[in-house]
Structure 1
Amino acid sequence: MSGPRVYLVGAGPGAADLLTVRAARLIAQADIVLHDALVPAEILALAERARIVPVGKRSGRPSSAQSFINKQLIDAARRHTVVVRLKGGDPMLFGRAQEEIDALVHAGIAVEIVPGISAAFGAAASVQQSLTQRGVSRSVMLLTPAVGKGETGHDWATAAVAADTAVLYMAGRQAGAIAAGLLVAGVPATRPAVIVENATLGTRERVFVTTVGQLEAEAARLGDGPALILLGDVFSSLQQRADIAEHLGLGSHHRAA
C-alpha cells in the first residue's frame, strides 16, 4: 500500500536480543522513532539513521499527553517514509495502541502492528515458572490496577481472584493497595506472589519471591525499574528453588521473603 504508514513496534520486555527480526529491521530502517520511556538504550541504539523522539508515559509521573503523541505520529507520517512508534512489551497490551491506531486511521494513515514479547512472558521466563501448569493453573489474567487521569476505577481484584494465575502490570508502586485489595477480595495472605523488576535485563533484573501478605514490605525494596506482580499457586515452588540455589551458591538473583 502506498502513502504514509506508521509501524507500531513491540520492543519486548527489555533485552535487545528478544526483539523480533521484523522489529529490529524496521528500527534499523526508520527515519524517525517515537519511543516509550521504558525502551532501553540498547534497543534505541539500533536506530542508527533515525531521529529519536521520547514520548514516554509512566504512571504517576509527568508525561506527554496522548493527544500530543497522536499529533506527533500524524505529523511524522506526513514527513517521513519509515515511522516507528516503539512501545514496551507488546503494542496491543496496556500500550494505548488503540488510541493511536484510531487517530492515524482517521487521518488517512495506514498502520502496521509488529508484536513483541509482553513483560509477563519475559518475567515468567526469568523465574523459569510456567504461568499455566497441569493440575494447578488453567487460566491466566493479565491486568493492571493503574487508573489514568479522568478514568473511573475498576474491580481489578475480582478479576485477579477469578484466574488461577494473575499478572499485574504497572503494579510495583501500588503494592500496598494491591495487597489490601486482594485480601478484601478473599485471597489468602499466604498466596504465593513474585515481584519481578526489570524483567530480562540481566544484572539489572531483581526477583522477590514472597506472599500476598508480604507484598508491601518486599515492594519497598524496589528500585526505579518497571515491576510486575505475579500471583498464584504455580509460584509455590519458587521459594524452595530459591533456597536451594542459595544453599548451592549458584548465584541466583531470587530473593526470598
Structure 2
Amino acid sequence: MPLFRQSDHPPAPTGVHKTALSVNINKVALLRNTRHIDIPSVLRAAELCLEAGAQGITVHPRPDERHIRPDDVYELAALMKDWPDREFNIEGNPFQNLMGFVRDLTARGLPLHQCTFVPDSEDQFTSDHGWSFPADADRLQPLIEQAHARSVRVSLFMDPVAEAMAAVKAVGADRVEFYTESYARASSGTERSEALGRFASAARAAAALGLGINAGHDLNRDNLTAFLRSVPGVQEVSIGHALIADALELGYTATVKDYLRRIDEAFAVTT
C-alpha cells in the first residue's frame, strides 16, 4: 500500500535541480533476496526516494534475478502511476530480457519512460563497458525502433568516446548514458582531470548531434558535483550502489536530499 495518497505527493522539483536524479534500487532487492520475508521492501525504498525528491527510479533486472525480479518491475511500474511527474527507467541487455519488459509494460498501460541498453553478458558481475560501433549498430537499430514504436525513449550505455557519438545518433538512439567508472576510479588529480576531459569532449559531441546525455556508475556524494561542473548538458544521473550504501547510514530521505544538494552545488553561481 502506498505511504502517501497521490494528492499528498509533492511535485517534482523544478527549476532547481538542473540534472535529474534517478535512484537505482537494485541493491535494495539484493539485500531483500538474502531472506524470504520481503524485507527490506523495494517498493517502500522507491516511494521514500520519490518523496524525498528523486526525479526517477531505475532498475536493472538481470536474467538470473540476483536482485530485481520481474514482479518488482511490474509493481514498481504500477507505483509510478501515482507519480506522473517522475520517470521509470529500466536498464538491461536488449538481447536478453529487457525487450520483454518493454513490450509487457507498455501493453499493460504501465509507465515506462526510458530503457537503457547495456551490453552485459548474463553472468557479468556489473556493467563495465559500453556498446561498440559499428560492430553493434545493425543489431541495435531494430530494437531501438521497437522501443520507439511503444513511445519509450532509448539511451545507449557508452564509453566517453567523442568519435562514437555520430554512430549513436545514426542508429536512432535518443540519449547516451556515459559509463563513468573511469572517472570514479581516477586516483590522482591528473588522472581525474584527464578523465573529465574525455567525458566533456564526448558530451559536447553528443549535444552537437542532438543526443541527450545521461551518466552513471560509481558516482557518489564525493565526486558527483565535480563531474557535473565539468561535463556539460547532463540531463540525468542514475545512482544506485553508493546512494543505497549511504542510505544504510543516513536513511533514504536524508541521502536523496544530500545528492540533490550536490547536484545543486554543481550549478550554483559563484561570485
Tell me the TM-score normalised to structure 2 length.
0.27
Structure of greater Rg: 1
Higher strand share: 1
Higher helix share: 2
